[in-house]
Amino acid sequence: MKSAVKGAWMGLSMTGGWLLADLLMPEPWGDVVLFSAMAVVNIGIGWKLGRLFDQQEAKDTVVASESKGEPEPELQS
């Protein structure tokens, strides 16, 4: 639950930051800059979440293979 509360606060503060930036920038260029920045940030967040899900999935696969008594796959270098 602690992580969920931290995530909610982060989302709330980020939303407030975007709103403040929108109010401070002149129209119409402010929207162009703001939406571009939002796109870059959202792409970065999505990329990071994708990597975290891949790492978790790999970790679950290793744990599942260990619980079945299967040997771990060897890494070739």
Name the amino acid, one letter, at 4.
A
pLDDT band at 77 (very low <50, low <70, confident <90, very high): low
Q: Count how many residues are written for the chain.
A: 77
For residue 75, what pLDDT is reported?
62
For residue 69, what pLDDT is reported?
61
For residue 60, what pLDDT is reported?
80
Give 42-62 as a 3 state SS string: HHHHHHHHHHHHHHHHHHHHH
pLDDT in tens, 12-61: 888 888 888 888 888 887 788 888 888 888 888 888 878 887 888 888 88
Contacts within 8 Å (CB) and 24+ apart, 54-57: none
For residue 73, what pLDDT is reported?
61
